[in-house]
Chains A and B, each alone.
Chain A
């Protein structure tokens, strides 16, 4: 193998030599840019540009053939009087405040349950995680099938309790609840795994010491496990909050399961934006809604970061 000489590091230069044009530092910088460029450019085109574009397009009215008419802030004014939009904000908010805490408690419960060894614990963990492997489309189809009015497996199971005639997806009061429950079923195994990782990092000795001191199971959880699990819990909660507002389950599942119905009871904000753009061709209005959501996210994340002193994002 031919050995090329790298000036500046390997070979010691005579002290009076002029610095070469290709200094080590310059070469390293150049390599750095070359390595980062493809990903950075891609992210700028397919994430950055759309964000900027949303802001621009939101000032226009766009027809289905791509004709743009400048309308100023009309799209934003339209939001105030859009009752369907506020309905979808309410749906998203209700979804968030039920799905996030219940999902967290369920996931944490499962993690504590399967933390220590018992025969078959690995298989049990896998079974909890299995729904998460399946696509949301399949999840939606399966649950729609299970919940079919009168005939589905769930109504059949509930019939002995006199609840067999309840319509889960046809009743506005129950459709959103079903969506929350299915989302939890889908996500709990994933959150359980993350929390399990956090639990494994807590030294057993701490709990043993508390046990020796006569702490009950609840006291051990409250005063030993819970404080030490806080960073992991924080991550899980932020993750599922962001997911509840803007995540795929707020679209895919809604699209397959209910199409936002009945009576808009499961129409999340992201589903509403999709409809505005691709059902009604209101790209300008959809872009304005996108801008509003991005602004909301930036503010909300800023607040969360401020409140937690930057979380613990970048350790490197």
Chain B
């Protein structure tokens, strides 16, 4: 295919791909009674967005999501980095077995273990708490696996130099390995933040308290409550998508790198 033809096909298909999202944005700015008219709106209005921001506790939902997403991301990165460093660099009996056990958990996705996980969380008193939203979301082998592969590529000499300077294992990890892995930690933080901001199934299952609703659960609840008041439901989705888009724009390059490497290595 000639370059010009490929470019044209690319533009057309890309436009079709994002059309639903553009349509969403336009619809939110339309007056309610023109919502389903496929024509240029008679005027643009912020009423729908203002209604959602003032009459619906969407701020509360977003705050919950922000607290949980940031907490999970930070704690997960620290723990995964430590575990990955040990699995890549430190020698101890059982290391291979532990690594295999960790990797094998990649097989299991949340929907599969949802019911027993719920029973575990109930037994631990984690239902309807922030801890219940945060803790189960932290532990995932994907980050450990990716970080370990990265740490295998860091030259040993750097650590040996630190060793000669008298650094213990903790300082070698914190002062040598962590600073060197800033790029991949940044990539993973975008990935983790997005995954947790977009999380729906566990927050839906683990909370009944409206004050603990995370934003995706909030939208689904609105969808139930407001039924055919599409203008408000759509406005809420737009508001909820703003942080995702900001994270994406800020971390796009890193995100793309993380995804490409996760498919290859």
Instruction: Identify the A interface with B (CB < 8 A).
Output: 1-6, 9-10, 25, 27-33, 35-36, 38-40, 42-43, 45-51, 53-54, 57, 66, 110, 113-114, 116, 118-121, 123-124, 126-131, 133-138, 141-143, 145-146, 148, 151-153, 156-157, 185, 189-190, 193-198, 201, 217, 232, 235-236, 242-243, 246-248, 250-252, 255-256, 270, 273-274, 277-278, 283, 286-287, 290, 293-294, 297-298, 301, 313-316
Contact = CB atoms under 8 A, between A and B. Distances in A.
Given A35-B86, A40-B102, A141 B194 contact: no
Given A39-B144, A232-B263, A301-B107, A53 B200 contact: no
B155 interface: no
Nearest to A193: B259
B11 interface: yes
Interface of B: 1, 3-4, 6-7, 9-11, 13-15, 17-18, 20-21, 23-24, 27, 36, 38, 79-80, 82-83, 85-88, 90-93, 95, 98-99, 101-103, 105, 107-120, 122, 135-136, 138-139, 141, 144, 148-149, 152, 163-166, 168-170, 173, 194, 197-198, 200-201, 204-205, 216, 219-220, 223, 230, 233-234, 237, 240-241, 244-245, 248, 252, 256, 259-265
Given A138-B241, A316-B149, A124 B11 contact: yes
15 contacts: A28-B91, A31-B90, A38-B79, A40-B102, A51-B116, A113-B9, A116-B6, A120-B7, A141-B223, A194-B259, A196-B260, A256-B220, A273-B111, A273-B114, A290-B112
B112 A148 contact: no
Contacts of B102: 39-40, 43
A66 B244 CA distance: 38
A119 B252 CA distance: 19
Nearest to A196: B260
B240 A135 contact: yes
Nearest to B95: A32
Contact of A298 (B7, B107, B138, B245): B107
A-B complex: 3 closest residue pairs judged by Cβ atoms: A194-B263, A197-B260, A135-B198
A120 B169 CA distance: 47
A135 B111 CA distance: 16
B7 A42 contact: no
Nearest to A48: B105
B264 A137 contact: no
Contacts of B259: 190, 193-194, 197
Contacts of A51: 108, 113, 116
B201 A31 contact: no
A141 B3 contact: no
